[in-house]
Structure 1
Amino acid sequence: MSIVVVVLCTVFGMILSSMAGYYICQLRKAKIKAAQQENSVYTASNEASKDGNIELPYFDLDTIFAATDKLSLGNKIGEGGFGPVYKGELLNGQEIAVKRLSQSSGQGIQEFKNEVCLIAKLQHRNLVKLLGCCIQGEERLLIYEFLPNKSLDNFIFDQTRKKLLPWIKRFNIIVGIARGLLYLHEDSRLRIIHRDLKASNVLLDNEMYPKISDFGIARIFGGEQTEDKTKRVMGTYGYMSPEYAMSGHFSVKSDVFSFGVLVLEIISGKKNWGFYHPEHDLNLIGHAWRLWNNQTPLELMDKELNETFSEDEVVRCIQVGLLCVQQRTEDRPTMSAVVFMLSNESAVIQQPKEPGFCVETFSLKIELSSGRHTSSTANDVTITALAGR
């Protein structure tokens, strides 16, 4: 009997020792993994500092989870091409917007770091402010200032909320976007081409002043460089310039084209892509061009804009918008010229030439990078192209 007890005790002791050893081993692995995750944050910080000499706060994941209730569905406020956006509140009471990079999105770690480094260097009232980021484990998070009115498309394309944007506010939004783009092209330390300017990438603050956001596919130019070419065309239906969509050639003038489309959308309250008119098959650009040639440009105005406004100011904005969407890049104005024309009633403005992408259609392979209802895969896309009238 005593021998059985001894054997059982020995076996039991061996089991306990094995369990203790396994527990200690797992604990060590957990500590190593945690250390690696923590180190990844500092590594990312150091890499960003080396690349751009920036000092940007890095938030740990627990802080973001606490602020957003673990990125709960109830705190979700939007969905972009690269992933969802959540509202949160830090312990000090500051409200934040957290952009979470989707693992299935077209934006990889390089695009993520690109956006971090870019925005951290930019300081302008018409650009969204980046507060920090989080790179921990599989999570890639960008933390922005929270803007309660969300994006411009939530207003100008909504039959109810567009009434909250009278002409004076729309004009201020147009000018604000122009000033933000001018800063990117000419006034910042870097020359930056946004490449995805659109209504959903313009956020509105408490007073409805615009802030350009989402720099995931933006490109930095050094020195006197103003243009480049890519084999990977990334952008959004209806906003891409002809030379960019067709050959991958982009420049400051491709941003100008996108701005022109945005101006026409703000004035009309209609989307360029998917625009419908019972009398023709033109898109919004083509429709605006037709009205201009018929000398009835004010017919482009949103029917909700029935308050008092300056007709000359509206016509001037339409004319500037049409100048920006001209077919040839050399015919489009720079953003400094755009700001001058918008801000000076006495400015002499030349007559626009035919715009690009307004009449005929053809199929084109494009890789989408953003947009609310798009993915990052190659698609057959129908795009309107120029045809003389």
Structure 2
Amino acid sequence: MGVCFGTPDFPTPSYAGHLKSGAKWKISTSSSSAASNSHDLLAARDKKAFGDGKIVADPSLTVFSFAELKAATENFTADALLGKGGFGRVYKGMLPGKQPYGIAETMMLPGKQARTIIAVKILNQNGTQGYREWLREIDFLGRLSYPNLAKLLGFCQEDENLALVYEFMPMGSLEKQLFRKGSADHLSWDVRLKIAVGAARGLAFLHNFERQIIFRDFKSSNILLDGSYTAKLTDFGLVRSGPSEGKSHVTTQFMGTFHYAAPEYRAIGRLCVKSDVYSFGIVLLEILTGLRAFDGRRPRGKANLVEWAGPFLSSKDKLWTIMDSRLRGKYNRNSAFQIAKLASKCVEETPRFRPSMTKVVKELESIEAASANRI
């Protein structure tokens, strides 16, 4: 369970992307009174957070009944399980017909009507995250639209049953693509670069609000991939607003994943956008090496990825020794070395020495273009 910091004040962004506005709630006919009450609660929170006339931010989300989600997932069968985490379990589901979700994937079955594929995240009542994170995710994703943020389609609240419904991402998470046995054979160097660029754009979008938004738990399992390997950030239950004007950081209780978290955040709870940059550097190292941020089963001295890989990042001649062997040498050595140097900058101990995510995006885009042209 997280610490509630209230609804973040999300102002008009200055980066590409937009706040949703003017949309209406779509309440399904089978939704419960509890779900309807949640609409009233969120509307009241909207009014308190944004003020009358400041920002119109009614999320265009569908309120699902728990019965609808049970039917969509065949009663949450084990065969439909996609994964699990601090919030709970995530299941693949299918809704009858084409749904008005725009980018939600639709499956055409021979001799049957079209079905819309969804991902359903069910709250674990005994898990590490709970109602506050669930509500924060609705508040957050219901307001924002950006190509590198996962699309929230709706939610469910009936008694103690809380759920979030997302667009289905057929390639799963970057974590699964990199670390599930036999899954990374097709993750070519160009695909890895594309994923890095997309994830960086998502973070830069969050950081470039007038009042910055800190993701706070950036890691490979929170990067989802669509059918063309476009990266989309997910799991926003821990996001929070950045420091107020004139302040360099906020001080808060540590929450997140230890071995991805920046040292100043882990040690004394100092949190800023550069804390996210550190986490991004860890993910870059995972993309380069094919190794997890931390694995106690690795030989002594190699368990912590950033500590072990650090000495190899400044030399092109040394870098190849830690590159993911599953790439079989099929990568551009110049671009790999540039990625390594960028990762090294991102994981600097002192936050002010880390680059901004805007600079990271520009550098990654340049590296990707050069790699594509084999320069």
Alignment partner of 1:216 out of 216, 229, 237: 237
Alignment partner of 1:313 out of 319, 335, 338: 335
Distance 1:175 1:317 in 2: 11
**Alpha carbons of 1:164 and 1:280: their partners in 2 closer, same or farther (altered >3 Å)?**
same
Alignment of 1:65-76 (within 5 A): 65-76=70-81
- Unaligned stretches of 5+ in structure 1? 1-33, 348-389
Q: Deviations over 1:57-83 (max 9, x none)?
A: 222222222212233333221111110
Q: How many residues align?
A: 312
Amino acid in structure 1 at the alignment position of 2:71: A
Check the 8 A contact 2:265/2:275 in 1, yes or no: yes
Instruction: Tell me which residue corresponds to 1:165.
Output: 187
1:63 corresponds to 2:68: yes
**Alpha carbons of 1:122 and 1:222: their partners in 2 closer, same or farther (altered >3 Å)?**
farther
CA radius of gyration, larger in: 1
Amino acid in structure 1 at the alignment position of 2:231: P
1:233 corresponds to 2:237: no
Instruction: Tell me which residue corresponds to 1:43.
Output: 40
- Unaligned stretches of 5+ in structure 2? 1-30, 51-56, 98-114, 370-375
Check the 8 A contact 2:153/2:167 in 1, yes or no: yes
Instruction: Tell me which residue corresponds to 1:331.
Output: 353
Amino acid in structure 2 at the alignment position of 1:217: L
1:97 corresponds to 2:108: no
Alignment of 1:1-389 (within 5 A): 37=34, 39-47=36-44, 49-50=46-47, 51=49, 53-55=57-59, 56-92=61-97, 93-186=115-208, 188=209, 191-221=212-242, 224=245, 227-230=249-252, 232-274=253-295, 280-281=301-302, 283-293=304-314, 296-306=318-328, 308-345=330-367
Q: Deviations over 1:95-139 (max 9, x none)?
A: 110111111122232221111111112211111100111112111
Amino acid in structure 2 at the alignment position of 1:235: G
Check the 8 A contact 1:111/1:217 in 2, yes or no: yes
Q: Per-residue deviation at 1:311?
A: 1.1
Distance 1:175 1:313 in 2: 13
Q: Look up the SS of the partner of 1:322 in the other structure.
A: helix
Check the 8 A contact 2:242/2:272 in 1, yes or no: no
Distance 1:78 1:167 in 2: 26
Amino acid in structure 2 at the alignment position of 1:135: Q
Q: TM-score, normalised by structure 1?
A: 0.74
Check the 8 A contact 1:41/1:58 in 2, yes or no: no
Check the 8 A contact 2:265/2:271 in 1, yes or no: yes
Bigger shift: residues 221-230 or 63-72: 221-230
Distance 1:203 1:345 in 2: 22
Distance 1:195 1:166 in 2: 29
Distance 1:202 1:110 in 2: 22
Identity of aligned residues (%): 35
Distance 2:268 2:90 in 1: 32
Instruction: Tell me which residue corresponds to 1:354.
Output: none
Amino acid in structure 2 at the alignment position of 1:306: R
Distance 2:366 2:170 in 1: 31
Q: Per-residue deviation at 1:287?
A: 2.3
